[in-house]
Structure 1
Amino acid sequence: MTRSFHRPRRIVLLALAGGAFLQGCASSTKSMIAAPSDQPIPPTNLDLSTYSLNRPVGKSVADVGSPHYRFEHFKLESADGKRHYRVQLAVPKAPPPAAGYPLLLMLDGNASFASLTEDQLKHMADSNRPVAIAALGYETHLGVDVAARSFDYTPPVPGEDPTWDDEMRKRLGGGADVFLDLLEQKMLPEIRRRIPSDPARTTLWGHSYGGLLTLYTLFTRPQLFPRYAAADASLWWHGGFILTVESKARAVTAGRTTELLLMAGSSGLEVQNETRALRPGLDPAMVLAARERRRSVPPDAAPKLAERQALRQGMAVTWKPFPGVSHGPMRPASIPPTLEFAAR
């Protein structure tokens, strides 16, 4: 099981067994080699299209059923009626602790819920550490509603009206605060009404744009959750704007330790030397522009962010690199350590 120190102003660098640390970490940062996660890790599929958010997600554990969890869902809409949400719940069948189950909120709910496996649910049940899961998704058969996700998961940029996620594609961004209001005022109360859950053991997890929103929440509304887990967060968005937000981050809640599990694969290094030919049917100008945007932060931006956050009063940070794991496969690869993090 991954080990780390859980106390303020301390960071532990973790690596998969047999892997190497990412380059660029400060020599003064404490480090240790960790064993692989106890949670079952899905195999990495070499067909990266499997991880495309634009593909139908197929059957999930809820469709198949589990002897260890029951499943339900509810729907709601954004205040302006333009975005339609489907929140899927996985509730342990074991009786809850007195304070309620640990709760894991998963962004990109359609795709992330489909990444869960029965082996993972069984592992939690067998270890008597079941985590309740709420996957925050959209009313679509695809991994995500791309336009809705782009708006919901990206922060507003001061001086821009509107904030674009991708102006070439006419895709709006900047709706993170609107989404977080909905999460705080409607989604979370309904989830807690349906699931007896422990506010002191609640984790927000996100991958890619979801990781960007997870960090934005930590920096702007740290009181909302005690635990945050971000996997391959899109630190490059808008030229690294989230790093500006970080520099003005609000103080974390006094009297408790706020925990961050920060994970990253090899995409930060890969994009610096991207030379692959474009797939047929893609607009070369759009693809090349996207590659340039992703090069706007250095490849060691994630471990450096972890180091800075570990210096903040009241923060406990765990850094976990995944050497050789590309951006898409980081979504399922990051779930096992996140389940363990949420179950603590």
Structure 2
Amino acid sequence: MSGAAPSEGPPGSEPVTLARSASWTMRAGEDPARIHRILLSWPEAPPPPGGYPVLLLADGSATFATAAEIARLRTGRGAKDVGAGLIVGLGHGGEGPYDRAARARDYTPSFPAAPAGAGGADGFLDFVIGGVLPELERRFPIDRARLGLFGHSYGGLLALYAFFSRPGLFRRVASASPSLWFAEGAVLEMARRFAAAPPPAAAGSALLLTVGGLEEADDGTPRGPVRVARRMVGRARDLAAILRGASVAVDFTEFPGENHGSVLPAALSRAVPFALSPVLPEAGAPA
């Protein structure tokens, strides 16, 4: 007997699908290898006068279904802190939840200390702005003044980079367990410059920063010392402290008992209402 799980269900079964959801593929630029799978979930409620707010998700193949179900449950129960909006997964073209090489390229900025093969964040953001958003607008009215971006790990780094380098583009940015150690902590220097002279375009924006309490614990495995050295929790706290008092709302949440992988559902549970809330937080106050 093989130990592998079957790729198809038992005879007579059907694949599980999500209601009011669809997906398609798009190519980024001229490189035929840069194929992205876009996943979209839309609500039952009609769009508000300005169009639907949008929450875009890095690592969409891994994060989309969870986020879409969170949005459905919150709005279906009449939650006042979540309005009707679009959930959009930005996936890569493979079958699995993650394409490690592609995300290491697409989600990392071209900092001087970035390793070879990294540094494609600007190209990826250009693809989202110039390709994905117009495609969404062909299907639904969207409110470009209420765009949100969620990312975890390298995706969290991408979210922060977008927040600092393109202020005001994404009004709600949720960065979960960001890879602040990348390129010798260069994004923290971006944060310091941002906090010292907040760009006017960032006014009214909000940042949600989350991390698992166990993310820098040495668990006795070979990766334990790496976790300690990267200071995922400590650096996240440092970032929150840097941004306090800037012209943006900052909310920092640490989830006790969660590690780098297990924290993802908890982070999404916070990010969805944060991004789709009809109430804008006050500048300089916790989101």
Partner of 1:228: 173
Partner of 1:78: 28
> Identity, % of aligned pairs?
35
Select the residue among 65, 81, 87 that pairs with 2:18.
65
Select the residue among 188, 191, 212 that pairs with 1:265.
212
Task: Write the mapping of 1:1-344 to structure 2, written as runs, cut at 5 A.
Answer: 63-66=16-19, 70-81=20-31, 82-116=33-67, 118=69, 120-127=71-78, 129-158=83-112, 163-164=114-115, 172-249=117-194, 251-254=198-201, 256-270=203-217, 273-276=218-221, 278=222, 291-292=225-226, 295-297=229-231, 299-312=233-246, 314-344=247-277
Secondary structure, aligned partner of 1:269: coil
**Alignment deviations for residues 128-170 of structure 1 (CA, whole Å, 9 cap, x no partner):** 6222101100111101211111100011122x6xx426xxxxx
Secondary structure, aligned partner of 1:224: coil
Residue type matched to 1:71 in 2? Answer: S
Q: Is the 8 A contact 1:104 1:132 kept in 2?
A: yes
- When residues 126 and 84 of structure 1 are mapped into structure 2, their CA distance, relative to the original with a 3 A threshold, is same
Q: CA deviation at 1:63?
A: 4.1
TM-score by length of 1: 0.69
Q: Which runs of 5+ in 2 are unaligned?
A: 1-6, 10-14, 278-287
Name the CA distance, whole Å, in 1 between partners of 2:26 and 2:72.
Answer: 26
TM-score by length of 2: 0.81
Name the CA distance, whole Å, in 2 between partners of 1:164 and 1:228.
Answer: 25
Residue type matched to 1:113 in 2? Answer: F
- When residues 193 and 324 of structure 1 are mapped into structure 2, their CA distance, relative to the original with a 3 A threshold, is same
Name the CA distance, whole Å, in 1 between partners of 2:199 and 2:76.
Answer: 32
**Alignment deviations for residues 26-60 of structure 1 (CA, whole Å, 9 cap, x no partner):** xxxxxxxxxxxxxxxxxxxxxxxxxxxxxxx999x
Q: Is the 8 A contact 1:268 1:300 kept in 2?
A: no
Name the CA distance, whole Å, in 1 between partners of 2:258 and 2:53.
Answer: 28
Name the CA distance, whole Å, in 2 between partners of 1:142 and 1:300.
Answer: 31
Q: Is the 8 A contact 1:262 1:318 kept in 2?
A: yes
Secondary structure, aligned partner of 1:64: coil
Which has the bigger relative contact order, CA under 8 A and spacing at least 6? 1
Partner of 2:284: none
Secondary structure, aligned partner of 1:311: coil
Residue type matched to 1:179 in 2? Answer: F
**Alignment deviations for residues 43-82 of structure 1 (CA, whole Å, 9 cap, x no partner):** xxxxxxxxxxxxxx999xx94233xxx1122321122413
Name the CA distance, whole Å, in 2 between partners of 1:187 and 1:112.
Answer: 17
Q: CA deviation at 1:340?
A: 1.0
When the two chains are superposed, the root-mean-square deviation of aligned CA atoms in Å is: 2.6
